[in-house]
Chain A
Amino acid sequence: MSDYNFAYLDEQTKRMIRRAILKGLAIPGYQVPFASREMPMPYGWGTGGVQVSAATLTPEDRLKVIDQGADDTTNAVSIRKFFERTAGVETTEDTASASVIQTRHRIPEAPLTEDQVLVYQVPIPEPLRFLEPSEIETRKMHALEDYGLMHVKLYEDIARHGQIATAYAYPVKVEGRYVMDPSPIPKFDNPKMSGMAAIQLFGAGREQRIYALPPYTQVVSLDFQDFPFEASKADAPCDLCGAEDSYLDEVIVDDAGGRMFVCSDTDYCRARRAAGHVGAQGKTEDAA
């Protein structure tokens, strides 16, 4: 253990954040303002998620950090190290054994349980931001459930691209009331939010907002009757583990047009390969 207070933040700050979290859980989808602190990392690196995690962690927790599905990229590694050092909690890459999972832009493929908390890093919490620049006006729109504008955005997508082209940060309606930005997760992950057993917390550090979904909350992706919501993914199996149902990253492997599709969720892919599943290029990859 170092000289930091447990999980870096002082107790008063964590209390303030917990209050915001509780309020957020009481009003699913509502953006609760909170006094976001300066964190020892730049905005955009997950300062909101880190503060929510810090307020959520207990010494008994086991933490997993995901960055775009991966456990081993810069953001994930540095945040994991941060909490190892300041909170001394155990960390893991295994989804099932983690009790708190901080994530950037993905939801794990493995279903989460009631014993887990999923913390999202959110860059822009306001789903109406790019349609209505005024914060006063957007708050009023939320208060009055004045959400026609959200569909104007989807209309524009179809008019211009022939389909709803929004592929990430796809707006959702929570329990038939608040329209919420699900953070920039791919829309493939949207259906997983609905009815999830785990608590979902959203922290936006720069924008100073926290919002939350209690377990088993109904979350519906917005759409048109004749252009229904579709959870899209690359039309291929994972080249390493052969999974057909997971969200895939496209990886360019050489400068001659060679490419492969791999699971974005590295832990899911690893577990499948350990269980003996092999994709089209799984063997050669092992040899290399």
Chain B
Amino acid sequence: MTPLLKVEGLTKRYGARIGCADVSFDLWPGEVMGIVGESGSGKSTLLNCMAGHLAPDAGRVMFDTRTEGMKDTITMSEPERRMLGRTDWAFVHQHARDGLRMNVSAGGNVGERLMAVGARHYGEIRDSAEDWLGRVEIDSSRIDDRPTAFSGGMQQRLQIARNLVTGPRLVFMDEPTGGLDVSVQARLLDLLRGLVREMGLSAIIVTHDLAVVRLLADRLMVMKDGHVVEAGLTDQVLDDPQHAYTQLLVSSVLQV
């Protein structure tokens, strides 16, 4: 079995400062990887480098493409990368507003990726939009409403529907539960967990919320100052942290 994504020595510097340094790992099909760390630890930089939003200074991001097998996504051409970005990859932004078209209806938002890969049948596009709204628990009567009329949690769920409609194999998530209140977070996590299991998705989730990775992630990387300080199975890292920083992180979680 080959890994779905193979990251080798990924480095990004902002001038003299380090964004992330020498990060390497393999992500296997169906696996969910969590990346945790405090603000400024380089986890978002790492995610953006992997997803092709930022150009890294060194390293390789190999992806198991459907047609050509393992291919470096950093050196591949822009059209190829964009194609990947709207078929096999998905990116869920922390703020739903960054990932949605706010002046386009919910149905149009979900249908955009389908139309971008060549769907030209209105009825079919609308049917799959309706189907996906249902899957993320948005009432299908809201299909023609704009995201501005949605609550924060609904916007986030709509963003997820919009990303998953083309059946991607790898989802990048940047703080998917950030800025939502806890009950909405719980529902969203439940939904995500269901979708990940049901579709066999691989995912990389960046978060500072340890509860999120506890629920969703199979494996965990802990980052500090741009470096990965500890990695391993989620339960193992959270229950028996080895690195001093991880110990601090785990012990800082508030108990209710």
How close is A2's CB to chain B, nearest CB, in angstroms? 50
Q: Does B115 contact A (CB under 8 A)?
A: yes
Interface centre among A145, A152, A223, A227, by most chain B C-beta atoms within 10 angstroms, is A152
Q: Is the CB of B122 within 8 A of A152?
A: no
Q: Is the CB of B122 within 8 A of A227?
A: yes
Give Cα distance in the complex from A223 to B116, angstroms: 14
Chain A contacts for B111, CB-based, 8 A: 152, 155
CB of B174 within 8 Å of the partner chain: no
Chain A positions within 8 Å of B82 at CB level: 144, 146
**Across the interface, do B120 and A151 meet the contact criterion of CB distance under 8 Å?**
yes
Contact of B112 with A152 in the complex, beta carbons under 8 Å: yes
Inter-chain CA distance A149–B86, complex, in Å, is: 12
Contact B107 A159 (CB under 8 A): yes
C-beta contact mask, B73-111 vs A, less than 8 Å → 1, else 0?
A: 000001100100010000000000000010011011001
Which single member of B116, B121, B143 contacts A148 (CB below 8 Å)? B116
Q: A223 to chain B: which residues have CB within 8 Å?
A: 120
Give the distance to chain A from B145, nearest Cβ to Cβ, in Å.
10
Which A residue's beta carbon lies closest to that of B111?
A155
Q: Any chain B CB within 8 A of the CB of A12?
A: no
Chain B residues contacting A149 (CB-CB under 8 Å) are: 112, 115-116
A158 vs B122: C-alpha distance when bound (angstroms)? 8
Taking each of B78, B86, B117, B120, which has the highest tally of chain A beta carbons within 10 Å of its own beta carbon? Answer: B120
Given known A-B contacts A148-B116, A152-B104, A159-B107, A226 and B121 have beta carbons under 8 A apart: yes
Report the interface size for chain A: residues with CB under 8 A from the other chain.
17
Bound-state CA distance A156–B111 (Å) is 10
Q: Which residues of the other chain, B, contact A226 by a CB distance below 8 angstroms?
A: 121-123
- B113 within 8 Å of A by Cβ? yes
Q: Which residue of A lies closest to B80 (CB)?
A: A144
Q: How large is the interface on B (under 10, 10 to 19, 20 to 34, 35 or more residues)?
A: 20 to 34
Alpha-carbon distance between A149 and B143 when the two chains are bound, in angstroms? 18
Q: Is there an interface contact between B121 and A152, defined as CB atoms closer than 8 Å? A: no
Task: State the CA gap A151–B120 with chains docked (Å).
Answer: 8
Q: Pick the residue among B105, B116, B117 that contacts A156 (CB under 8 A).
A: B105
> Max chain A CB contacts within 10 Å: which of B104, B107, B122?
B122
Query: Which residues from A are CB-within-8-Å of B112?
Result: 148-149, 152
Contacts of A227 in B (CB 8 A): 122
Residue among A144, A155, A224 facing the most chain B CB atoms (10 A cut-off): A155
Task: Please indicate the chain B residues that have their CB under 8 angstroms from the CB of A146 in the complex.
Answer: 82, 116
Given contacts A144-B79, A144-B82, contact A152 B108 (CB under 8 A): yes
What string of 1s and 0s marks CB contacts (under 8 Å) between B108-139 and chain A? 10011101110011110110000000000000
B105 near A159 (CB under 8 angstroms)? yes
Q: Which residues of chain A have C-beta atoms less than 8 A from B101's C-beta?
A: 152
Interface residue A225 (Cβ < 8 Å from any Cβ of B): yes
A224 close to B122 (CB less than 8 A): yes
Question: B57 in the interface, Cβ–Cβ < 8 Å?
Answer: no
A residues in contact with B104, CB < 8 Å: 152, 156
Distance between Cα atoms of A14 and B144 in the complex (Å): 49
A145 to B82, CA, bound (A): 11
Q: What would 17 A/B residue contacts be, using CB atoms closer than 8 Å?
A: A146-B82, A146-B116, A148-B115, A151-B115, A151-B120, A152-B101, A152-B104, A155-B111, A155-B115, A155-B122, A156-B105, A159-B105, A159-B107, A159-B126, A159-B143, A160-B144, A224-B121
Which residues from chain A sit less than 8 Å from chain B, CB to CB? Answer: 144-146, 148-149, 151-152, 155-156, 158-160, 223-227
* Additional A-B contacts beyond A149-B115, A223-B120 (10; CB < 8 A): A146-B82, A148-B112, A148-B117, A149-B112, A151-B120, A152-B104, A155-B107, A155-B111, A159-B108, A224-B120
Q: Which residues of B contact A (CB under 8 A)?
A: 78-79, 82, 86, 101, 104-105, 107-108, 111-113, 115-117, 120-123, 125-126, 143-144
